[in-house]
Chains A and B, each alone.
Chain A
Amino acid sequence: MKPNENVLEIKNLVKDFPGVRAVNNVSFDIKRNTVHCLVGENGAGKSTLIKILTGVYERTSGQILLNGDEYNPHNPREAKQKGISTLFQELNVVDQLTVEENLTLGMEDTTFGFLRKTDKINRIVSVMNSIEPSIHPRSKVSTLSVAQKQIVEIAKAVAAESDIIIMDEPTAAISEGEIAHLFNIIRRLRENNVTVIYISHRLDEIFELGDYVTVLRDGGHIATKPVSEIQDRSELIKMMIGKTVFEQYTPPEEDCKDIILEVKNLSNHRLKGGINFDVRAGEIVGFYGLVGAGKTELARAIFGADPYEGEIIFKGKKLSPGPGKSIAAGIALVPEERRTQGLFTILTIRGNIPVMNLENISRNGFINATKERNVTIEYIKKLNIVTDSTEKEAAKLSGGNQQKVVLSKCLFANADLLMLDEPTRGIDVGAKSEIYSIIRQLSKQGKSIIIFSSELQEIMNICDSIYLMYDGTLRSTLRNSCDVDSEMILHIVTGGE
């Protein structure tokens, strides 16, 4: 194997999902022993790219060279064997075992079935020691902090003699001091012949830590540059959002009417500092922030799905917490994860659509089958759900149609306030614009809508008021208009002052 300046070369990489091209002809090189940052908005294609590199997804076309050789892993295990380890956001350590047992998991030597302490194990433990001597190999992983668990995972990757360690938002869940410590470890890794691919939404970290940065946007490759050649975060932000043309946002013809929802001093373990805002009848409100900003937590708290402190006043009355009570009061939520939180995938479309308002299709507790069917057909037609039967299992529908079923569910609940958490994530453009037009229609009927989204374009397209979130707090509020400064917005939601 000849020594090569580039540890990884990605050439014309393409990944298609049904209806969406997630990675579009991406080519760039990663230089050996550098920290290479990957940035882009949500949906830019970062995680798809990572999943191809780690063998979770198969590419559609293109080529990847690892140390100059063709690299095409079919599963994460193969990727690891070939020298690419990944630190995912959900850590992959076994809490019940000790640090030492975690490090050697799957490579134990045995004699007659009994574990044997060998040189190999001693070596692995010494790797741990060299990286972080303060973590004792015999301590239980469950007693460690998140940051320490991350370090255990890093040690595991080093012990596996990885050339490349991918880190996906490693600082999302750890404190300032721990971040500084992690950065020191990353710098030491670089000195010891490890290349780090670093993904973060916190742009300041890229300037502090990165050697190179690659910007992705809408599945395409925008630029790969040495970090030193980038002037400041605003240049980076410009590359990330490009010349975004926001579709015709039209302000409502008449001013919104009465306040329907007042949120006062809301907080819980993920929402800090007390959140205050109002929503008026007929208003479309957007909460924008990147992954981990606390949008989903806020939506779930308002809906009563998670506990909170503070007060929520809806239609002049204090709302008592609980999804059932919220629905009864006139609030519905389209949850973030449609398959696990919104849909009943093993049930039919007919089994899904009426569930939030079974009272409407029943009398004295008995379901009126005709009414049930009619309601289902009504919504299939109204939302243009592509299906040949009301009896089709929800699991067999495409993402966009599944989302329309979830939306139908919430519309049938006849709520005055509809909350949508990432309403268009992972669905095709056609279904997207259909969902937007439904939202606008509802607002014209005087219903209030709150959209929680990590897609700026979505928020700018349809929302009247925009709230910016970062790290569980509300950072800023603005009215939508044609001259909203999207750079300023991205500056705020990436932690800038």
Chain B
Amino acid sequence: METNQTKAKPLALSGKMSNETFITFLMIGVLLFLFAVAAVFVPNFYQPRNILNLVTNSWYIIILGIGVTFLLITGNFDLSVGGVIAMTGVLSVYFSQAANVSQNELANGLGLPYGVAVVLALICAMGIGAVNSFFVVRIKVPSIIVTLGTMMLARGIAQIVTQGAQRNTSLPDVFGVIGNVSIPGTPVKISVVIMILLVIVAFIFERMTVHGRRTYLIGANAESARLSGVNVNRHLTTLFILSSLLAGITGLLMASEFKAGISNRATGYEFDALVISLLGGVSIAGGFGSVLGMFVGALILSVVTSAATGLLLSPDWQFTLKAIAVFIAILSQGYFLSRRKG
């Protein structure tokens, strides 16, 4: 009887959008709403210049968010990204600083050519990712614990190399280029362009590739994925190293921007990256979420914080506002998703 019905009715193919797309649109709606509210109360909030700032100001969190989002989709955390930023930044400075030029230890580096220093620093960043994946994949330690450890390890290395402070002298001029150069005629920095390119690549990876698909399979059910022939261990290893590499790139760009390797750089960024992923609808249970959603989540956070500044709220309010935004977003996602199921 049931089968006859289905034969009579043609199979609906694309009538319904996926839950991920739905959440992304929902969050875009929330973003527009918050923007409209801010535009009413904050003078000049709607100016193009300000809108541009909303996007460009959080480039570093968005780059981190890419790796964090993919790992969340597999059901894993990466809390080490903030530490990796500091470590990579400090190491790139240390490797580039001229050798034996000063009495001050912090002014002496290894004197390596800039290109070599950059590559070495990125390899060190990926080393942290390798440690993460080793413990998660081989020793089966939960990622939240492992990356909590490497978060401190990476920052610890940064503090040892800088003696708990920073390194900012005897650097070649070329060191400060990539973090400060803008696209001619615009205020948009190279870092922002890199961020946009990475988001596009990540989006294509997520939606169109076999490996993107496998990322979801692992998060949806790791055992089913394994029994379906997915090499779960290799895939997770790659993603952990990728996430650290992205954090490393961010660290290099930030070190270049300030021409300094600062050991307490990017403290708490791992949580900001987590927050924007959650705002974008990524599920910590795994198997669900999207990079585009994460991007929208970053913009929501950006609107909230800059509107608060515009309203002359004291910076002390920032965390509380972030918290409220997160609660509203998560609750509305749950509400609309459950309404949708019916």
Contacts and interface: CB of A to CB of B under 8 A. Distances in A.
A344 B287 contact: yes
A365 B212 CA distance: 9
Interface string B181-223: 0000000000000000000000000001111011011001101
B13 A351 contact: no
Contacts of B14: 391
Contacts, number: 100
A111 interface: no
Contacts of A305: 226-227
Interface stretch (A74-82, A308-316, A379-387, A440-448): A379-387
B12 interface: yes
A345 B286 CA distance: 12
Interface string A404-441: 00000100010000000000000000000000000000
A391 B16 contact: yes
Contact of A323 (B12, B16, B226): B226
Contact of A387 (B6, B217, B221): B6
Interface in B1-30: 2-3, 6, 9, 11-16, 18
B325 interface: no
Interface stretch (B47-55, B132-140, B228-236, B238-246): B228-236
A44 interface: no
B22 to A, nearest CB: 11
A324 B12 contact: no
B95 interface: no
B288 interface: yes
A388 B9 contact: yes
B44 interface: no
Nearest to A385: B6
B224 interface: yes
Contact of B12 (A303, A326, A388): A388
Interface residues on B, range: 20 to 34
A326 B229 CA distance: 8
B209 A373 contact: no
A362 interface: yes
Contact of A328 (B3, B224, B227, B229): B229
Contacts of B227: 303, 305, 323, 333, 335, 341-342
Contacts of B13: 373, 377, 389-391
Nearest to B220: A344
Contacts of A387: 6, 11
Interface residues on A, range: 35 or more
A388 B15 CA distance: 11
A325 to B, nearest CB: 8
A5 interface: no
B209 A324 contact: no
Given A373-B13, A384-B3, A391-B12, A343 B224 contact: yes
A345 B6 CA distance: 22
A127 interface: no
Interface of B: 2-3, 6, 9, 11-16, 18, 208-211, 213-214, 216-217, 220-221, 223-231, 287-288
20 contacts: A305-B227, A323-B227, A327-B228, A335-B224, A343-B221, A344-B220, A344-B225, A345-B221, A347-B216, A347-B220, A355-B217, A355-B225, A355-B228, A356-B229, A367-B210, A377-B13, A386-B6, A387-B11, A390-B12, A391-B16
Given A355-B225, A413-B229, 10 more contacts: A323-B226, A335-B224, A340-B224, A346-B287, A347-B217, A351-B213, A358-B214, A365-B209, A387-B11, A390-B12
